[in-house]
Structure 1
Amino acid sequence: MDGGMTLAGRVRSVGRGLAATAAFGAAAGAAAAGYGMWEKNQFVLREESLAILPAGHGPIRVLHLSDIHFVPGQRRKAGWLASLADLAPDLVVNTGDNLSHAKAVDPLLEALQPLMRFPGVFVPGSNDYFAPTLKNPASYLRGPSGERQNAVELDWPRLRSGFGMGGWVDLTNRTQSLVVKGLRVDFSGVDDPHLGRERYAGWPRGTRGQDASAHLRIAVAHAPYQRVLDHFTEDGADLLFAGHTHGGQICLPGYGALVSNCDLPTWRARGLNEWHSNGRTTPVNVSGGIGTSRFAPVRIACRPEAVLLNLTSRS
């Protein structure tokens, strides 16, 4: 036998190395999870500017909320939502997924009450209809989530009624015109495309000759599937609001989102971009969202956000 390590010694050495690697991996995973749970409460306001209003109109300040995924007891989130009323927006746009718990309707409405002093519109997301289910968080990285089995229904009618009583307009597969700071704004909204529920209602019909006057067309949807963006772009929308993606929720610094939870390219999972379809172009604001599923309460390199979009005139 030579003077080297015995076979048994080599086995013990390899075993210690594997154990150390496993311990390091577990520690790194725990650190990432801890960071992710901290970041999910680091709320930020993203501000954007867009010159799309008819000449002589504006500015108009639009506050975009999406994917709140509220759970009872989220006092920090509730306080931050209420504080957004200090921005005094001219319009609030809510693109759905407000809930993440069967008992969240009342505390959510209480948190949003200060914002209901301002005109608003809304559409639902799948998590307004159904509660999230417990599953492997890593499944989020496999691509768009599928239809839930044995889903628990949420009290969407009461949430919708609460929004309506607060003065916000329901755009679920319907249209509505509002006057915002003297400008006629035509809205067209759809039910959640992630559930395949969208039905296009066109645009509000004005009185004879009214379409020749200055106005703005805004489309509102929860999930920014390409078929939805194509439709509204080709149908003459001036601006489109959507959410659903959570901005990727788990991102790589310097790279960005790994998934968008729909067929939207991942580099478009958060932010203000232009969408092109059949020779037309529409600005699209995709919110990175405010919350997470209560069963995957982490964000990494993707802080929760509300968006303040400052609309100004073209000239």
Structure 2
Amino acid sequence: MSARSGGPAAILKTTAAASVGTLVAGIGYASLIERNAFVVREATMPVLTPGSSPLKVLHLSDIHMRPQQRRKQAWLRDLARWEPDFVVNTGDNLSHPKAVPSVVQALGDLLSVPGVFVFGSNDYFAPKLKNPANYLTKPNSRIHGEPLPWQDLRAAFTERGWLDMTHTRREFEVNGLHIAAAGVDDPHLKRDRYDAIAGPANPAANLTLGLTHSPEPRVLDRFAADGYQLVMAGHTHGGQLCVPFYGAIVTNCELDRSRAKGPSRWGARTQLHVSAGIGTSPYAPLRFCCRPEATLLTLVAAPTGGSGVGSGAGLSHPAVSAR
């Protein structure tokens, strides 16, 4: 009579062990591999006024820099080789009180390219250990860490020529194109004061551009009502931990999951681009099915004045190895 293999208890034990092993492997992949698997994603967005020449825009967001992150710094330095015409930075550059020099040195030659920026919550306050369940049960809760030297970062950016768009409207030329831009402070911290920039965007501009760190619908609605062709944001980390064939679980704001990253339409005439971001909080150093990214957007003329939808959102290029 042959010996029987284990009964239900043994099967349950084996299944539990396999599940734990899968979980451990997944966490290891998310924390050691994907979190550092930087990519440049390319997309084309038809948002410029008819007859405009194309404009290459590099969108950076959520760098969350700490001084010891050498791999990230080397990758950022190499982004200049993409030769963008214009750089947009939508905030959360810092994760450490001594990270300003690391950010400035890593951005390097990009700071010589025309650029604009707004700040996010992790430019003002350091990350703090939180209950991760709050992202699901209390998405509007706020726990601030120590103040960060955002004034030093602002000074470094503006000294190199980047324009601070916080509660400001500006018009300027880039590669022969007239850009009318406006930005708000971080809606995630409820620092946005849209009334300070309210009013119709200049219809004579080749591009009307709105900037915000967190893509809160209340702010997106105001930009759309004022006729902005493109709004750019970050903050969501693309969901950061995504489920295959499902996508982002949360966006950490009021934006719906379907717009957690990439191009989408907001209203009849406005397009939105949300960056999945480059870094993570030091207290949640994981990414799964959501690689850290910078985005190279090719803005082209819209045949109907801004009603097109971006394409090529899935085209990405692996990180260049540090030299």
What's the TM-score once normalised by structure 1's chain length? 0.88
- For residue 219 of structure 1, what is the aligned residue in structure 2? 210
Which amino acid counterpart does residue 22 of structure 2 have in structure 1?
A
2:166 maps to 1:172: yes
Q: How far does residue 176 in structure 1 lie from its aligned partner after superposition?
A: 1.3
State how far apart, in whole Å, the 2-side matches of 1:282 and 1:213 are. Answer: 16
1:155 is aligned, of 128, 149, 156, to 149
Name the residue aligned to 1:24: 18
State the secondary structure of the residue aligned to 1:69: coil
Task: Return 5+ residue gaps in structure 1 as ranges.
Answer: 1-11
**Bigger shift: residues 185-194 or 71-80:** 71-80
Q: 2:273 aligns with which of 285, 300, 303?
A: 285
Answer whether contact 2:130 2:143 (CA < 8 A) is retained: no
Q: How far 1:214 moved relative to its partner?
A: 4.3
Structure 1 range deviating more: 13-22 or 229-238? 13-22
Q: Report the Cα offset of residue 141 of structure 1.
A: 3.9
Quick one: which amino acid aligns to residue 58 of structure 1?
A: S
> Which of 15, 39, 48 in structure 2 is aligned with 1:44?
39
Query: Does the 8 Å CA contact 2:210/2:232 hold for their aligned counterparts?
Result: yes
Q: Measure, in 1, the Cα distance between the counterparts of 2:100 and 2:7.
A: 57
Task: Find the aligned partners of 1:107 and 1:245 in 2 and give their Cα distance.
Answer: 23
1:298 matched to which residue of 2? 286
1: CA distance between counterparts of 2:90 and 2:249?
A: 22
| Alpha-carbon distance between aligned partners in 2 of 1:227 and 1:212, rounded to the nearest angstrom | 22
Identical-pair percentage:
50
1:199 positional shift: 1.1
Name the CA distance, whole Å, in 2 between partners of 1:193 and 1:109: 25
Worse-matched range after superposition: 46-55 or 251-260: 46-55
Question: Which stretch of structure 1 is more off in the superposition, 172-181 or 189-198?
Answer: 172-181
SS at match of 2:181: strand
Distance in 2 separating the partners of 1:224 and 1:107: 27
By how many angstroms is 1:16 displaced? 5.5
Aligned partners of 1:176 and 1:204 also within 8 Å: no
Does the residue aligned with 2:197 lie in a helix, a strand or coil?
coil
Map 1:4-19 to 2 at 5 A: 19=13
**Structure 2 SS opposite 1:40:** helix
Matched, 1:309 2:297: yes
**Match of 1:7?**
none
Give the alignment's Cα RMSD to 1 decimal: 2.1
Q: What's the CA shift string for 1:104-144, capped at 9, x where partnerless?
A: 11111110122111000000000000111123444434452
Shift of the 122–204 alpha-carbon distance from structure 1 to 2, 3 Å rule, reads: farther
Q: Which has the larger radius of gyration?
A: 1
Q: Is the 8 A contact 1:175 1:203 kept in 2?
A: no
Tell which deviates more after alignment, 50-59 or 98-107: 50-59
Q: Which residue of 2 aligns with 1:269?
A: 260
Cα distance per residue 1:196-246 (max 9 Å; x no partner): 01112337999xxxx574432100000001101101001110100001000
1:159 partner amino acid: L
SS class of match (2:209): strand
Following superposition, the deviation at residue 52 of structure 1 comes to 2.3
Distance 1:275 1:258 in 2: 21
Q: Is residue 2:121 matched to residue 1:126?
A: yes
**Per-residue deviation at 1:281?**
2.6
**Aligned mates of 2:109, 2:199 — CA distance in 1:** 29
- Quote the residue 1:246 is aligned against: 237
Q: Does residue 1:117 correspond to 2:118, yes or no?
A: no
Question: Normalized against structure 2, the TM-score is what?
Answer: 0.86
Secondary structure class of the residue paired with 2:269 = strand
Structure 2 CA distance, aligned partners of 1:72 and 1:214?
40
**Residues of 2 paired with 1:300 and 1:219: CA distance?**
29
> In the TM superposition, what is the alpha-carbon distance from 1:19 to its structure 2 partner?
4.8
Q: Distance in 2 between matches of 1:84 and 1:55?
A: 29
Determine if contact 1:177/1:204 at 8 Å carries over to the other structure. Answer: no
1:102 is aligned, of 91, 97, 104, to 97
- Which amino acid is the alignment partner of residue 38 of structure 2? F
